[in-house]
Amino acid sequence: MERQQQVEVQQQVSMPMGLRYDLAVSDSVPANRNIAQFLASNASVFGVSNNTIRINVSSGSFLDLKNALLQYELKNTTSQTIQLDGGADCVINRIRVLSSDGSEIERIDSYNIIASILDQYTTNDSSLRVLSALKGSPSRLDDTPLFDEFTFSTTGTAYDSSGTSTGLNMKASATIGGDLSLKNDKGGRGYDHKQADKLATTVVRKYSFGLKLGLFNSLTSKLLPPNTPFQLEIQLENSGANCLVNVGADAVPTFTVENVELHIPAITINDPAFMARMDDLMNRGMSWKANTYQHFVNTTSASGSKDNIQLGARARSLKGLITVLRQNNNITANQKFKISKRSIQYVSDYIYKIGPNNYPIDRVEIKTCDTGDANGTDSNVRLTGNPSLNNVNIAEAYAQMLRLSGNLNQSNPSCLIGPEAFGQSEVNNGCGVLAIDLSAYSDGSVNSGINTNNNMPVSIEISKLSTVIASQDLQLDTFSVNELVIMRMPNGVLASSY
C-alpha cells in the first residue's frame, strides 16, 4: 500500500505543468502601486564646480528599485553644439549609496564607463530604442546591407543594369552620357556613437534612466522593505572634456544639471496578516544579493612588448573582470568620444592571473588591423567586408566578453556590439574590451566566484603592439564584477559586504 502511494506521488510530481490541472490560480496579496518622487536634498544648479547631488530616500512602502528612474535636465552651456558620449549618464563620474548611519553601502567609480559597457553588451535592438528615448543614447544601428557593384550601360535610349540583385533601383530621368555604376558597399558599421543626442548651445533636455547599482538590481528582483532609508550620492564629472563631445570647435564642453529627481514605484500591501509576518521578518534582519562593480586605473607605456598589471580586486566572490584600453591623449579630448569608445587593437593577446592560476588557461589571442599602421585602423577603414585583411582574430576575445555579459554562461546573450565595432580602433567606432568570466554558476543562489579577500594577487598580462600604440601611452580601466550582499538590520539600517 505504501509502495503504491509513493508511485502515485512520484507520477504526480513528474507530470508536466501543462497537465497539472490540480494547480489552482492563487490570488495575489492585495496592494496598490504609485510612483514616489525623491528630490535632491541640496537642490541647486549642478555643474563642474558644484558637482555633488544628494537624494535622501525613505518610505513606509516597498520600493521597486529595479524600475526606478533618475531624472534631470541637462543643459548645454557651451558656445557650440555638443553630443552625448553614450547617453545622458555620461556626465556621472561616481555614485555612492550611504546608509542612514553614514556608512558606505555601495560605490561605483567611473560609473559612466561601466554604464556604457553594460548598455552596449547586455541590451538588444529593442532596448536601443528605449534607451534612446530615456537618455539620448544612440538611436539606431548602422545596418546598411552589403552589396556588390553593378553598372548601368546605355543601349539606345534604354539603360540596362547588370550585377547582383540587391533591391536597389536606379532610374535616369534625363539623358546621361556614358555609363553609370553603383559601387560595391561594405555594409553597415553596426554600433554608431554619432547617433547619440546632440544639443545646440543653451538647449535643455530632460532625461530619465535606470541605474546600474547593485542595490537597484538585486539578483532576484527583491523589493526594498519599508522603513529602510538610504542616501544616493551622485558626483558629476569635474570637466565636460571628460564626458561630452564638442561638435563645433576644439573647446572644453560645459554643462549644467538641474531639477534632479528619483522616481521609484512604491507598493503598499493592504493585507494585515502579510504585513505582520513581514514585520516579524524585518525584526530578525534580512539579506539579499546583487552584482556591483569596482574600478581600478592603471597605465602602460607604448614601449616594451609585454606588461603585467596588478589589480587590487578584493572580493568574497569575484565573478568577472572587464578591462578597457584607451589612449591617454583621447581621454580628455574635447572633440572625441572617450566614454563609449575604446579599442582592443593595442594588444595581440592577454591573460588574467589570479593567485597561481591563469584565466583562461591559454592566452586569448587578438588580431585585427595591419600592425604596421601606427593609428590602428585608419579613419573610415573597415574590418568587416575587407577581403585584404589577413588572419583577423577577434572571435575568442568576443566570446569571453559574451560569457561574462550573459550573466553568466549563456551562449548568446543580448548584445549591440558586432564584429566591426568590437575590433575597431578609437579613430573609428571601436567598442572592444578584454574580459573573463569567473563565475561557476549563473543563478545567483550560491557564491559562485573566486574569493580574493585573502590578499590573493590579481593581474592582467598583455602583449602590446607598440607599432599600433605609436608614441601614446595607454590607460587601462578595469572593472571587477563582485557579488554584493546587502543586509537590512532589525533597526532598518542597511549594511553590505563584498
Out of 70-84, 198-212, 388-402, 425-439, pick the least confident: 388-402
pLDDT-derived band at 30, boundaries 50, 70, 90: confident
Q: Residue 175: what pLDDT?
A: 53
CA distance 70 to 33: 19
Mean pLDDT of the chain: 87
| Residue 483 predicted with pLDDT over 70 | yes
| Cα first-last separation, the chain | 53
pTM equals 0.89
Contacts 24+ apart (CB under 8 A), 490-495: 490/282, 490/283, 490/284, 490/285, 492/100, 492/227, 492/228, 492/229, 492/282, 493/99, 493/100, 493/101, 494/97, 494/99, 494/100, 494/105, 494/228, 494/230, 495/99, 495/103, 495/105
Q: What is the mean pLDDT of residues 94-115?
A: 97
Q: How confident is the model at residue 27 (pLDDT cuts 50, 70, 90)?
A: confident
Q: Cell numbers at residue 445, please?
A: 543562489
Q: What is the pLDDT of residue 204?
A: 98
Residue 11's φ and ψ, nearest 5 degrees, are -65, -40
- What single DSSP character describes residue 242? G
| Residue 159 predicted with pLDDT over 50 | no
Section 154-161 average pLDDT: 49
Sole residue written with cell 577603414? 381
Percent with pLDDT over 70 in the chain: 83
Euclidean distance between CA atoms 111 and 71, whole angstroms: 16
Mean pLDDT of all residues in 370-396: 76
Distance of CA 215 to the CA centre of its chain: 17
**Tell me, what's the pLDDT at 160?**
47
Query: What pLDDT does residue 162 have?
Result: 46
> What is the CB-side half-sphere exposure of residue 441 using CA atoms within 13 A?
9
Please report, for the chain, the start and end positions of each structural domain, with discontinuous segments joined by +. 31-142+190-497
Q: Which of 377 and 17 is assigned the larger pLDDT?
A: 377
Are the C-beta atoms of residues 190 and 142 closer than 8 Å to each other? yes
b/e per residue, 356-382, with b = 16+ CB within 10 A?
eeebeeeebbbbbbeeebebbbeeebe
Q: Which of 37, 102, 57 is nearest to 225 (CA)?
A: 57
Residue 498: alpha-carbon gap to chain centroid: 21
CA 393 to chain centre: 24
Look at the block and give the residue holding cell 561638435. 247
Reported as a single tens digit per residue, the pLDDT across 44-76 is 999 999 999 999 999 999 999 999 999 999 999
Could you tell me where the beta strands, DSSP code E, fall in 77-140? 82-84, 92-99, 104-109
Show the cell assigned to 301: 607605456
For 322-354, what is each residue's pLDDT tens digit?
999 999 999 999 999 999 999 999 999 999 999
Residue 4 has pLDDT above 90, yes or no: no
Q: Is the pLDDT of residue 381 over 60?
A: yes
Residue 487 belongs to what H/E stretch? strand 474-488
Copy the grid coordinates of residue 404: 561574462
The pLDDT score that the predictor gives to residue 379 is 83
Per-residue confidence (pLDDT) for residue 48, from 0 to 100? 93
The more confidently predicted of residues 1 and 419 is 419
Tell me the three cell numbers of residue 482: 563582485
Does the domain made of 31-142+190-497 have the CATH classification 2.70.9.10? Answer: yes
For 440-449, letters b (16+ CB in 10 Å) and e give eeeebeebbb
Q: Are 377 and 427 in contact (CB under 8 A)?
A: yes
Q: What is the pLDDT of residue 221?
A: 84
Instruction: Spell out a b/e string for 394-420, using b for 16 or more CB atoms within 10 Å of the CB, else e.
Output: beebbebbbbbbbbbeeeebebbbbbb
421, pLDDT greater than 90: yes
Concatenated DSSP letters of 280-324: HHHHH-EEEEEEEEEEEEEEE-SSSSEEEEEE----SSEEEEEEE
SS3 415: coil
**CA–CA distance, 333 with 17 (Å, rounded to integer):** 58
